[in-house]
Structure 1
């Protein structure tokens, strides 16, 4: 069965350690993605991404290498997201890092897939601004 994938690469002027915290620590995640978040950055841990009552989603950590990689597999979300996995790889660069993001395993390249690709780009830009400048976009204004 064919599946579809989303990829984004993002240069960030921050250390690998600070970036890893930004993508794996619930206290930082909620500053650029979900309204509330819980979980521990360790393989097998369960994360809860809460976006509102209808969007109370869960994922399991499938790979966690501090300052290097963080990947999750969705376990409870919606029909389009459930079969997917997403994650981040951190490459050190001369000035900061290159964050390589992927969201794989989409069953269809439908409107939700296209919207999610756009939203990830916007959210990742929010992550960049959060890590580089400390900017937190209010949850209601995030894509």
Structure 2
């Protein structure tokens, strides 16, 4: 049995703007990571650095320009190691519908539930970054 996190949100931005913001390190650093590196190409490795103790890696397992971007975690916290996080995008009127998923958690524990809450907060930060050009300092993000 696996456990999954899903969040959908509308962002008033183009598919390209949203895709770039969820896949380009210079944008990831403005709403999620402290510092990151990687390229949105299949099998490319991303370094997702949050602190020295949380210096994680994921591999691009699905990517379609301006449509989808998914990372399978390969070196992270033990609860995240089996998981894949992804962004699937589609046009909805004048906005982009972001269908976020973080799937294949092996246990329904505190970390899983806390991560779901944190993702909701971070995705709101993603929306505010794209729509209002607001960057929440890393130490203020949940």
Name the TM tier (shorter chain). over 0.9
Match of 1:30 in 2: 29
Alignment of 1:77-116 (within 5 A): 77-116=76-115
In the alignment, structure 1 residue 14 sits paired with structure 2 residue 13: yes
RMSD, aligned CA:
0.4
Gaps of 5+ in 1: none
Q: Distance in 1 between matches of 2:107 and 2:92?
A: 34
SS at match of 2:30: coil
| Number of aligned positions between the proteins | 142
How far 1:93 moved relative to its partner?
A: 1.1
How far 1:96 moved relative to its partner?
A: 1.1
Q: Distance in 2 between matches of 1:29 and 1:111?
A: 25
Please list every run of at least 4 consecutive aligned residues from structure 1 whose deviation after the TM superposition is greater than 2 angstroms.
none
How far 1:99 moved relative to its partner?
A: 0.1
Task: Give TM-score, length-normalised by structure 2.
Answer: 0.99
Q: Distance in 1 between matches of 2:136 and 2:65?
A: 26
Gaps of 5+ in 2: none
